[in-house]
Amino acid sequence: MTTFLILAVLVLVAIAIWQMTKIFELSQAKAETAQVASDKDNRYNGYLMMAFLIFIYAITIFSFAKYSKFLLPEAASEHGADYDYLMLVSFGIIFFVQTITQFLLHYYGYKYRGEKGKKALFFADNDRLEFIWTIIPVIVLAGLILWGLYTWTNIMDINEDDDPLIVELYAQQFNWTARYGGADNVLGEANVRMIDINRANVLGLDESDPNSADDIIVKELHLPVGRKVNFKMRSQDVLHSAYMPHFRAQMNCVPGMITEFSFTPTITTAQIRLNPDVVDKVKRTNAIRAKRAINGEPNSDPWEFDYVLLCNKICGKSHYNMQMKIIVETEEEFNAWMAAQQSFKQTLASVQ
């Protein structure tokens, strides 16, 4: 390895010296020959413009064909379909405009390349053209912005209608903790200054608040399908971002304040595991892990798809590892799971 690095450094040094020599030669060239492009130069540049246009189209088509399988499966929340449709329309407009403008840019660069004796026709201005290429983007962008604001307003309509489940997501370097309101579905007061590890009060709950007694603190997020969930988010240390990609949900967790997000899960974990795209992804991932197992590499155990909560803000050296599993299940399964959990009051009693 050391020999390879030495050879690589020597090659790079040789290239650098060669390039410096070329620069010196160019600097000594006569101005009248160094600064004027010939017809041959212009012709080559025109061909290169068209070749690069073909490359752009080819790499775009290849990327869609090769990597579209890595896109997220269908949204697993009520608002997710509207979110995805808005994103699809936005990308459609972007690719349509990009295809046309790139073609015009490269084609005219080729067609009207410099040639000896050819003079460019100069227009000082053209009010009609300027109006067209100004008003069309204004209308399109205004429409997308208004549509986006309308969609965002609907998504962020956080209220107590439909008896939502109240869940707190607590972020800290580098893990997540979830807290449920218990039987009364009301979260007790909390403050990071009240954290007491010795008493297992890891979230800083106010022990004098009656609503805190039945709160349930867990390291795995369970959600009932078809029921609205209002998330209240806190951060203990730095800025984090609660990102649940499969539900098209994301909200910053800001130290010193509570942020909120709300959505209704529509697909259980068991159902999403039957999605053909998910099944294909699991098969491909497990095939890779099987090859790793042969070589004795880590992370080679079979993998099963799960919803996840990620941190989408770089929050420190272990940011990449800050995640929590999410399980979406039926109301009956959720209630049975909740009944098996220990309340905050019981946790305090067990450490005394």
pLDDT digits (tens, 9 = 90+) for 115-151: 787 777 777 777 888 888 889 889 998 999 999 899 8
| CA-CA-CA-CA dihedral for 140, 144, 145, 149, to nearest 10 | 160
* pLDDT greater than 80 at residue 296: no
Higher pLDDT, 11 or 5: 11
Mean pLDDT to the nearest integer, 12-38: 67
* pLDDT greater than 80 at residue 350: no
Given this model, what pLDDT does residue 178 score? 95
Given this model, what pLDDT does residue 52 score? 92
Give the chain's length: 352
**What structural domains does the chain harbor?**
165-351 (2.60.40.420)
| CA-CA-CA-CA dihedral for 324, 328, 333, 334, to nearest 10 | 60
CA distances from 347 to 137, 190, 197, 202, 214 (A): 59, 16, 12, 11, 10
* Token pair recorded at residue 195: 């954290």
* pLDDT greater than 90 at residue 179: yes
Higher pLDDT, 66 or 120: 66
Provide the pLDDT confidence category of residue 29 given band limits of 50, 70 and 90.
Answer: low
Higher pLDDT, 270 or 18: 270
pLDDT digits (tens, 9 = 90+) for 302-322: 778 999 999 999 999 999 999
Strand partners, 28: none
d(CA 96, CA 208): 60
% the chain with pLDDT above 90? 41
pLDDT digits (tens, 9 = 90+) for 67-122: 887 788 889 999 999 999 999 999 899 989 989 999 999 998 888 887 787 777 77
* pLDDT greater than 70 at residue 21: yes
Instruction: List, as one string, the DSSP characters of 282-308.
Output: HHHHHHHHHHHHHTT-SS-S-----EE
Provide the pLDDT confidence category of residue 28 given band limits of 50, 70 and 90.
Answer: low
* Token pair recorded at residue 64: 């869609």
Given this model, what pLDDT does residue 132 score? 85
Provide the pLDDT confidence category of residue 192 given band limits of 50, 70 and 90.
Answer: confident
Q: Which residues contact 213 (CB under 8 A, 6 or more apart)?
A: 182, 188, 343, 344, 345
User: In terms of pTM, does the model score above 0.75?
Assistant: yes
